[in-house]
């Protein structure tokens, strides 16, 4: 199976929604992320942009970490946030910037 995102969030709810976590690990991270048509770097770029646009800041933390692990740089992720301010809205970008600040500080 592919290396999945940090499991603390999954582990925190595993007892509440065990099937959801099972599907996440088997299908999302085990199958979808392993499809060869897109690189993991590209998949990370897509997911980070989507999470920013949808305002999913809790999931954004783990996916920013994954994006860095998958080869995106802090500068590239900063550019994604800046670019999305014009498409997803200033509040979404500012929230993402605060999340990224914390993630980047830990690196």
For residue 9, what pLDDT band results from cuts at 50, 70 and 90?
A: confident
Q: Which DSSP state fits 16?
A: T
Tens digits of per-residue pLDDT, 50-80? 999 999 999 999 999 999 999 999 999 999 9
As given in the structure block, the two tokens for residue 59 are 């999931």
Cα 27 to Cα 99: distance, rounded to the nearest angstrom: 27
Between 8 and 68, name the one with better pLDDT. Answer: 68
CA angle, 38 as apex, 7 and 99 as ends, to 5°? Answer: 45
- Could you tell me if 30 and 2 are in contact, meaning their C-beta atoms sit under 8 angstroms apart? yes
| Fold exhibited by the domain 39-107 | AhpD-like (1.20.1290)
pLDDT > 50? residue 2: no
Tens digits of per-residue pLDDT, 29-54? 999 999 999 999 999 999 999 999 99
pLDDT > 90? residue 24: yes
Residue with tokens 């692990």: 69
Tens digits of per-residue pLDDT, 82-99? 999 999 999 999 999 999
pLDDT reported for residue 8: 78
pLDDT reported for residue 1: 39
Domain ranges for the chain, please list them: 1-37, 39-107
**This prediction's pTM:** 0.88
As given in the structure block, the two tokens for residue 103 are 């993630």
């Amino acid at each position: 199976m592919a290396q999945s995102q940090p499991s603390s969030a999954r582990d925190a709810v595993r007892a509440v929604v065990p099937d959801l976590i099972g599907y996440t690990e088997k299908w999302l991270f085990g199958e979808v992320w392993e499809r060869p048509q897109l690189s993991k770097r590209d998949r990370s770029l897509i997911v980070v942009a989507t999470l920013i646009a949808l305002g999913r800041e809790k999931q954004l933390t783990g996916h920013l970490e994954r994006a860095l692990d998958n080869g995106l740089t802090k500068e590239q992720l900063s550019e994604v946030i800046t670019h999305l301010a014009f498409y997803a809205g200033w509040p979404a970008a500012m929230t993402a910037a605060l999340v990224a600040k914390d993630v980047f500080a830990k690196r």
